Every structure is written in structure tokens, then in C-alpha cells.
Amino acid sequence: MLEGKVMVITGGTRGIGIETVRVFKENKAEVILLGSKKETVEKAILKLKEEGMEVKGYYPDLNHIEELNEVVEEIVKEYGKIDILINNAGISANQKIEDTSSEEFAKIMNLNVNAIFNMTKVVVPYMKRQHNGVILNASSMVSIYGQPSGVGYPASKFAVNGITKSLARELAPFNIRVNAVAPGITKTDMVDSLPKEIIDPLIKTIPIGRIGEPRDIANAYLFLASDLATYITGNILSVDGAARS
């Protein structure tokens, strides 16, 4: 479905990110994964190589435009283009507001919101030049109705939805589609770190009767990135087993 396409994904070293790398490689895309640390990037690349998948990786600071510019320039120099950008990097939160410092709140917003702005800002000029591109952002089910604690996380995902819908309108004249995927409860390290009192009530809201798998989310990214979705932009695609409030 993606033969000849070049995809860049942030947060591509584990969980939904690395599973998305697998799905896109299976569909013949060239994939460049970005991670937060050299060690985690190298570990992911080695793991994928053992599975028979060759990918390239970088570890820029997503809040430093200069670093992102250098990485994107290098990618375009090697591959000639960037067709798909997936802004997947993010962190969660679960503390009550009185236990959350301003610094912790800012850290969430920096990675979940500012990094999306930065990465998109750097990639968009190349997509405009191509008059073609797909940008996919990681939202969440909590962007629809919030969560009982950890206010920074749903706040950041509401912002992601706003970025997605606004950029879809701004970039549509350049044939650049912008969508987001809003996963429900999914088997990842991030969800494993949440306390039982938050997870258990949420699981009961899933009519389909199970927690999502990383591949469920990766397949949604695949659909939105493919030519099957050429008339879809500005959408927040819920992938949550109908677990909507």
C-alpha cells in the first residue's frame, strides 16, 4: 500500500511507534524512526534488523528546531522527499493537579504539543514543494472526554486535535492531508504505568470487550497514510473499541 513512500515517525522505538514501523515496512515504505536517545534508537534498529527490516534512525531533541532541520535535511538529501510524517512521540500523566508541578505540566506540553508543532513546521516546506504529503498526529480517547487525573495529558491531546483540524484546512490547498488517531486503552508501556484505579473503570467502557493492540493503532495510521484515504483530512479517528463516553 505504501511502496515508494518515505515515512518519518517520532517516538518510533517502542509500543505503538515501533509497531507502526513494522506495519509500514510490511507495506513497502522507506521508514526513518526518531527516538529520544541514541541507545533506544540503536536498540530498536537492531531489533527490527533481526526481524528482517532495515530502517534508519535519529535521535534529535524535538524541541530544538535547529536539530530537526539538520535531520530532515539529511533525510531529504538521502531519500529525495518525505511523504508521510507521523507525530507519535508523547508522554502520559496521572497525578492529581495539586501534586503536579508547573514544570511537570510544561514537560507534557513540550513533548505532546510543542514537538508536534516543531516537527511539522520543519517538514511542511518540503511537502509544499512536492505538493503532496500526509501528516498524522497521535491523539487519544481522553481528548474527547478527559480523564479523572493527570490533567496535562488530556489538555495536550485536546491541543493535538486543534492542531490537526486547523492544519488540515491550512495545508489542504497544497495537497497535504492532516489527520489524527485517537487510541483507546492499548497495551503499551505508557498504559502499564497508569494506576489500576484509572485503568479498570476504563476497561469496563469498551463494548468490543478487549484492550487494543499496538497493531490496531498502526493499521489506522496505515489506512490514513494510504491512497485509500485521499479525501480524508481534518479528522480525529477513534480506535477504541467504541469506548466513547
For the chain, domains (ranges, CATH) are 6-238 (3.40.50.720)
- Catalytic position from the list 58, 59, 126, 153: 153
DSSP assignment, residue 227? G
The set of residues, in sequence order, having a beta carbon less than 8 Å from that of 40 and lying 6+ positions away, is 13, 14, 59
Is residue 153 part of the annotated active site? The answer reads: yes
Contact, 18 vs 12, CB < 8 A? yes
Gap between the Cα atoms of 133 and 139, Å rounded: 19
Which pLDDT belongs to residue 68?
98
Q: What is the pLDDT along the chain (245 residues), one digit of tens a residue?
A: 999 999 999 999 999 999 999 999 999 999 999 999 999 999 999 999 999 999 999 999 999 999 999 999 999 999 999 999 999 999 888 888 998 999 999 999 999 999 999 999 999 999 999 999 999 999 998 888 888 888 999 999 999 999 999 999 999 999 999 999 999 888 887 677 777 787 778 788 789 878 899 999 999 999 999 999 999 999 999 999 987 65
Gap between the Cα atoms of 139 and 161, Å rounded: 7
Which pLDDT belongs to residue 61?
96
